[in-house]
């Protein structure tokens, strides 16, 4: 029995009225309660329906891949414009680059610490599955590759408040840089799953990320960059 095993009935009770039976069966397979290498034929499926209510399914559990720029774009434009007005072009460029670097660090720790957390109890495992486990089960689901607004907006507000405290009146261009880093991350992630570059950086990033999915799930956490994998000892070459 793996650390993830638990009684399927523990999930079926509290979640039956909200989530689909397909999701419950997938959870059973994910936690080892269904035998076989792929008992639900997941390898040939792009994804599953999660919520019984069709409106909630569309609004809460899915997000179009174009949506990151819709949410982050205005912050990026506002932050860079105000930065140039208040701090000049050169200083703003430095602050934006700082924001991008901070995003890569946040991306790394979110993926390694939050997304790959192994909680105990049915509810904790359910939330872990919905945050990131689903993506590992159905990596080709195009509508569940980027964060939906109800997850993205609270995180964005939290980062903005933190930057206000840390950077004072320079917080906006730093936040703009973080927005640029976030959009680059989400689109790089989409690119590695749904495009098939044959050479160059794109091909390398695709190999790097897909080996995280299908070989060493506890390594290669960086998606837009391997920088922090190198810094924190989780780097493995995708060519090994």
Helix (H, G, I), strand (E, B), or coil: what is residue 148?
Answer: coil
Domain-terminating residue out of 61, 77, 98: 61
Based on the fold, state whether residues 75 and 53 are members of the same structural domain. no
Per cent of the chain over pLDDT 70 is: 87
Q: State phi, psi for 181 to the nearest 5 degrees.
A: -60, -40
Residue 216's pLDDT is 85
More confident residue, 23 or 43: 23
Which of 61, 79, 105 is the endpoint of a domain? Answer: 61
Query: Mean pLDDT lowest for which of 70-84, 89-103, 134-148?
Result: 134-148
| Residue entry with tokens 């964060």 | 147
Do 160 and 44 lie in one domain? The reply is no
Q: How many domains does the chain have?
A: 2
Choice among 34-48, 123-137, 206-220 with the minimum mean pLDDT: 34-48
Greater confidence, 129 or 192? Answer: 192
Q: Are 16 and 52 part of one and the same domain?
A: yes
Q: Which two tokens stand for residue 62?
A: 């899915």
Q: What confidence tens digit (pLDDT) does each residue in 41-81 have? A: 655 568 888 888 899 898 888 999 999 999 999 999 999 99
In a domain, 127, yes or no: yes
73 Cβ contact partners less than 8 Å away, ≥ 6 residues apart: 179, 183
Share of the chain above pLDDT 90, in %: 57
Does 16 have pLDDT greater than 80? no
Verify that 80 and 37 share a domain, yes or no: no
Q: Are 73 and 152 members of one domain? A: yes
User: Do 158 and 222 belong together in one domain?
Assistant: yes
In a domain, 56, yes or no: yes
Residue 237 lies in a domain: no
Specify the pTM: 0.87
Q: Verify that 199 and 221 share a domain, yes or no.
A: yes
| Ramachandran class of 233: left when φ > 0, alpha when ψ lies in -120 to 50, beta otherwise | left
Non-local (6+) Cβ contacts of 160 within 8 A are 171, 175
pLDDT at 6: 36
State how far the Cα of 156 lies from the Cα of 9, in Å rounded to an integer.
36
Which of the two residues, 222 and 123, has the higher pLDDT score? 222
Three-state DSSP state, 33: coil
What is the per-residue pLDDT across 183-199, written as a single tens digit (0 to 9) for each? Answer: 999 999 999 999 999 99
Spatial contact of 189 and 145, defined as CB atoms under 8 Å apart: yes
């Amino acid at each position: 029995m793996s650390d993830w095993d638990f009684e399927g009935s523990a999930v079926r009770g509290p979640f039956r009225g909200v989530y689909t039976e397909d999701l419950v069966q997938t959870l059973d397979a994910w936690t080892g309660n269904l035998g076989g290498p792929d008992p639900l034929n997941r390898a040939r499926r792009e994804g599953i329906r999660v919520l019984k209510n069709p409106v909630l399914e569309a609004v809460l559990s899915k997000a179009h891949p174009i949506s990151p720029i819709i949410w982050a774009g205005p912050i990026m434009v506002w932050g860079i414009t105000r930065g140039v007005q208040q701090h000049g072009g050169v200083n703003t460029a430095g602050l934006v680059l700082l924001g991008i670097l901070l995003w890569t660090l946040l991306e790394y720790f979110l993926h390694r610490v939050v997304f790959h957390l192994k909680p105990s109890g049915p509810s904790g495992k359910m939330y872990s599955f919905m945050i990131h486990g689903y993506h590992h089960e159905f990596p080709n689901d195009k509508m569940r590759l980027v964060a939906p607004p109800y997850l993205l907006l609270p995180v964005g507000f939290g980062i903005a408040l933190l930057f206000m405290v840390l950077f004072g009146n320079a917080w906006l261009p730093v936040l703009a840089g973080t927005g640029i880093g976030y959009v680059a991350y989400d689109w790089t992630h989409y690119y590695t799953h749904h495009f098939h570059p044959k050479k160059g950086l794109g091909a390398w990033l695709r190999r790097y990320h897909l080996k995280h999915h299908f070989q060493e799930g506890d390594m290669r956490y960086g998606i837009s960059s391997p920088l922090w994998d190198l810094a924190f000892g989780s780097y493995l070459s995708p060519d090994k």
